[in-house]
Chain A
Amino acid sequence: MTENGLPGNLRVRPNVADLLGLLAIMAAAVVIATAGRHMLVPIPASEAGTIHLNPAWLPAYAVRTTLRMFAALAASLVFTFTYAVWAAKSRRAGQILIPLLDILQSVPILGFLTFTVVFFLGLFPGRMMGAELAAIFTIFTSQAWNMAFAMYQALRTVPPDLEEAARCFGLTPWQRFWRLEVPFAVPSLVWNTMISMSGGWFMVVYSETITVGNTDIALPGIGSYVGLAIEQRNIWAIFYAIVTMLAVILAYDQLLFRPLVAWSARFRTDDGASLSTPDPWVLTLLRRTHLLRQFCLRAGDVMTRIGWLALGPRPSAPRRTFVPSRLVDAAWLAVLAAFVISVGWKTWAYGSTHYTTAQVLHVMGLGGFTLLRVMITVLIASVIWVPAGIWLGMSPQRARRAQMAAQFMAAFPANLFFPLVVVVIVHQHLNSNIWLTPLMLLGTQWYILFNIVAGASSYPGDLLEAARNFHVKGWLWWRRVMLPGIAPYFITGALTASGGAWNAAIATEVASWGDTTLSAQGLGAYIAHATVAGATDQVGLGMVVMAAFVLLLNRVLWRPLSNYAARHYTFD
């Protein structure tokens, strides 16, 4: 930067933008400190007294919810920068860490609650901290896997020429990591963090009312506020909560993610296919400030210095090898095999004593119901969103607006809307097996729209012209021209949506309004009931079966489909 190293320069004098910025920072500090103090207090005797339906309390609840969210995000980042890096750097570690990550990704997050709540409450007996950590951990599980995968992918695909350049200049592993690999990973990391956050909002709202067996804790937050509103059949309170959440998501979107995405664009190695978008106003404001800008530059300087620390050996240093690597490989494989066999054996031993065959078959049957439900909702959502998305995507202006709206809607925790639907079902006496189903896709359908819009807007204009020139119209147009072109995008969207739907199943197959509880037949309801009853065995079985379903579906359906689409339906 040019104005660096010009002490006493005019530009360092604070200005109005600085004042605004400092005020904002101070306000944030006060809020965080207050909320943090509350986390350490003992669990109150009557937990009902802690939540108030008076909307005046909502801003404070929103702050608490948001803080939980960001605490989890911090944890996810730490996880990403350790686990994923380790998996990428060490071939042997990768052999175990990556499949493990794959499995973790398909385990229904809400199922974890049963185990983590017990664990964390035991860690901090009698303090809110335990419950807080349990909630944060739940959010963490909804974010971390996805981000770690993005990081791992990026680290594995650093362009070889850049890698060679780094080697030529004698960068140590530490320097190479911060100067080359992390910058290269930034765009996909930011993007996936954004996707993760969307899932996180859903989880944070759900995890604030923790009911496991006879432990019943409500953490102050928007989720618990809604929980109480449902209990007391207060529809207005639910509206208030929705409005508050809208404000929170809007602020989070504008203040954090728009600037982050704009900032990450500079790390793109492909020469901007999606050329310059105007800077978000927050970034512009930050650039206008004098003092804050100086502070940021200094902070950036310090970070850069840390990145330049010469930790680790230079590439020119001779490599030492003790044992032929093939021997080590063999030993490692043996250890892995022994581990897998012993875990398998333990599981089998545990399973055969705790579960009957009939029970397992029953749960698998329930999984079938949920599978059917997921597929049908994805299908219905596709029928609606594919044509709509294509229409929106064909005009650049509409596409931009639709993308923003879809991103925003995807971030909005859909579970806040559930009570509104449930009220209708209760009052109209509708069949809950059918009418609870759409809720599963309420939050994740946006991924379908989002991807279709992206696909349609990047559809090559000359192909459309060719189609018009040869008078290709109607069904032929859809079949030969448009649908194949957006197929890869659709599959990505549908995969994300269905993954989200499985997770949401636990939250949507059981719903209540006051003392009326609706329940649909399915694996999600099974896990939800077992969680409330504190039946760890049943939760475990449900989770394993669900994870198996998700893994199988990915392997048998989505992966082959997306491979096929990548081979046939992409433009080079």
Chain B
Amino acid sequence: MTQQPTAPTTHPAGAELVRIVNCRQAYHKESATDLVVLDGVNLSIRSGEIVGLLGRSGSGKSTLLRIIAGLLPPTAGEVIWKGRKLTGPADGISMVFQSFALFPWLTVQKNVELGLEAQGIPPAERLKLAEDAIDLIGLGGYENAYPKELSGGMRQRVGLARALVVRPDLLLMDEPFSALDVLTAENLRTDLVELWAEKKLPIQSILLVTHNIEEAVLMCDRILIFSSNPGRVAHELQVPFEHPRNREDMAFRQFVDRIYALMTRRAPVVSEADMTDPDLQRTEITADAVALPPLPINTLVGMMETLAADPLHGRADLPLLASRLQLELDDLFPLGESLQLLGFAELEDGDILLTPEGMRFVQSEHETRKHILWQNMLHNIPMVRTIRAVLDERPNHRASAERFRDELEDSMSPDYARQTLQTLIGWARYAELFDFDEEADQLFLDDEAE
């Protein structure tokens, strides 16, 4: 990484690069209401900063990234790029993809040259620029390799070189490290931050989409916390640390804790009163509408057992639990929320605690557990109540699963509806509440359940 870009860029903070005004993204649905992914999003990015978009999967942050890149026109609102309204793929914005998005039939060199080729830059110059970028990103010597010959980390370096070589003003990174293993990701993060801090990157700003809180705190100058359903900027935090940052630093840990607290929805935010968004209350779970992730019941049980056991005794700090279980935000939050939905746990101020009901579940035998889950599902999840009522009513105790999916689709996308019902079926089978005939796509009551 000795190569210095020919025109070293400075980071004069302040000049506005891009501004999003009242962006809304909705997908048209056949029945009744549109599915709103983003609503009323306003944000701006200035030159000289790394901005993090932090949120859960499905909160629409990747969609927003594509809107900014001009790959996707927003349903309403506008993107102002360098003072002009954006109408198509923007000049001066490059993207780094979660899946790398390298062309498997092009060598590293050719992949990196692609953007230059599109600009009509002559071959000799292309070669030089691409080599510089490849060297800068630490891939010198791999020019003639095909992507499939490289490890995940190196592939993402190619993706980075390809994005940098066109000297964009704004670099968009869509969960760039989440497909990498922990060590590789850390290595790439530190390298990137180092290059940024040393002002060796030919760019003015970075917008980083992530669901990893520590990653955001480690890299960003400013963090925008996204809420889901519909996606919107719920909080904005300035990160008060200098690069390089130390994860073990007390202040760093506290900052991470604070974000955890902000992101557990029912958190009573005491000290951040100025930041609470009144709209956030609107997204409070209306129970029959909540989309469930693909969570098998064993995972929930395992989580509850871990919580109940030594040394946690029913209460745990979320960041601590995350690192103990080696889970990321995207895995941990749905788990906690599902337990909360079932009445087995509460999320509070960045902590998770087991309810008495949850404690009773953990301490029970298998048969009793089934019974507890049976009752809690019926009691806490209206959709389960509906299903059970319909099945009880029918003489043959069978009903098409399609109708329940349709019902769920009133409040979520078809994919989520499918997923949610699938998860419910998994839980219901454990509790022997109802069963599912995949061939006929019907829910039914087993003999024992009748």
- Complex Cα gap A109–B332 (Å): 63
Render B167-207 as a binary contact track against A, CB cut-off 8 A, 1 for contact.
00000000000000000000000000000000000000000
- Complex Cα gap A30–B118 (Å): 68
- Complex Cα gap A468–B104 (Å): 17
A166 to chain B, nearest CB (A): 24
B5 at the interface (CB under 8 A from A): no
- Complex Cα gap A463–B69 (Å): 15
B166 at the interface (CB under 8 A from A): yes
Contacts of B162 in A (CB 8 A): 470
A287 B105 Cβ-Cβ under 8 A:
no
Render B80-104 as a binary contact track against A, CB cut-off 8 A, 1 for contact.
0000000001010111011101011
Given contacts A469-B89, A470-B166, A471-B115, contact A571 B101 (CB under 8 A): no
Contacts of B117 in A (CB 8 A): 472, 476, 480
Contacts of A2 in B (CB 8 A): 437, 444, 446
B71 at the interface (CB under 8 A from A): yes
A270 at the interface (CB under 8 A from B): no
Contacts of B89 in A (CB 8 A): 468-469, 471
B71 A463 Cβ-Cβ under 8 A:
no
Contacts of B98 in A (CB 8 A): 462
- The tally of CB-CB contacts under 8 A between chains A and B is 69
B106 at the interface (CB under 8 A from A): yes
Contacts of A569 in B (CB 8 A): 104-105
B114 A469 Cβ-Cβ under 8 A:
no
B243 at the interface (CB under 8 A from A): no
Residue from A465, A473, A568, A572 within 8 A of B95 (CB atoms):
A465
B271 at the interface (CB under 8 A from A): no
A470 B66 Cβ-Cβ under 8 A:
no
Contacts of A259 in B (CB 8 A): none
CB-CB nearest in chain A for B72: A465
Main SS of the interface on chain A?
helix
Main SS of the interface on chain B?
loop
Identify the interface centre among A11, A471, A568, A572: most chain B CB within 10 Å of its CB. A471
- Complex Cα gap A468–B117 (Å): 13
A484 at the interface (CB under 8 A from B): yes
CB-CB nearest in chain B for A462: B101
A462 B118 Cβ-Cβ under 8 A:
no
A465 B396 Cβ-Cβ under 8 A:
no
Residue from A470, A570, A571 within 8 A of B114 (CB atoms):
A470
- Complex Cα gap A462–B89 (Å): 14
- Complex Cα gap A462–B101 (Å): 6
Given contacts A2-B437, A468-B71, A570-B104, contact A10 B396 (CB under 8 A): yes
Render A545-572 as a binary contact track against B, CB cut-off 8 A, 1 for contact.
0000000000000000000000011111
Contacts of B99 in A (CB 8 A): 460, 462
Known: A466-B97, A468-B89. 18 other contacts (CB 8 A): A2-B437, A10-B396, A460-B101, A462-B99, A463-B101, A465-B71, A465-B97, A468-B71, A469-B71, A469-B94, A469-B95, A470-B166, A471-B89, A476-B117, A480-B106, A481-B103, A568-B146, A569-B105
Q: Which residues of B are at the interface with A, using a C-beta cutoff of 8 A?
A: 66, 69, 71, 89, 91, 93-95, 97-99, 101, 103-106, 110, 114-115, 117-119, 146, 148, 162, 166, 396, 437, 439-440, 444, 446
> Can you list 6 A-B contacts (CB < 8 A)?
A11-B396, A465-B71, A469-B93, A484-B105, A485-B105, A572-B148
